[in-house]
């Protein structure tokens, strides 16, 4: 099994939990003002996910060459 960088795991779990919470607030409770707070949260977890993805690829390429 491949070892993922912790930033990748944080980004993945954060995106899943944030999207579930966003759907619950938007559809379940019909809170229309909930959308504005998520415009800040999504890019943060996308940044974690992309940095973790890049670092995972870098580590994987380093392990293949050695």
Residue 64 has pLDDT above 90, yes or no: no
Return the number of other C-beta atoms located less than 10 Å from residue 48's C-beta.
Answer: 21
Residue 2 has pLDDT above 90, yes or no: no
pLDDT of residue 48: 97
* Rg value, the chain, Cα: 16
CA 11 – CA 29 distance, rounded (Å): 26
Task: Output b/e per residue, 1-35; b: 16+ Cβ within 10 A.
Answer: eeeebebbeebbebbeeeeeebeebeeeeeeeeee
Q: What pLDDT, in 10s, does the model give residues 11-49? A: 999 999 999 999 998 888 888 787 888 999 999 999 999
pTM for this predicted structure:
0.86
pLDDT of residue 32: 79
Residue 50 has pLDDT above 80, yes or no: yes
């Amino acid at each position: 099994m491949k070892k993922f960088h912790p930033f990748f795991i944080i980004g993945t779990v954060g995106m899943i939990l944030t999207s579930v919470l966003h759907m619950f607030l938007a559809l379940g409770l019909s809170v229309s003002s909930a959308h504005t707070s998520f415009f800040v949260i999504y890019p943060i977890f996308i940044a974690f996910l992309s940095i973790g993805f890049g670092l995972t690829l870098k580590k994987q390429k380093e392990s293949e060459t050695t």
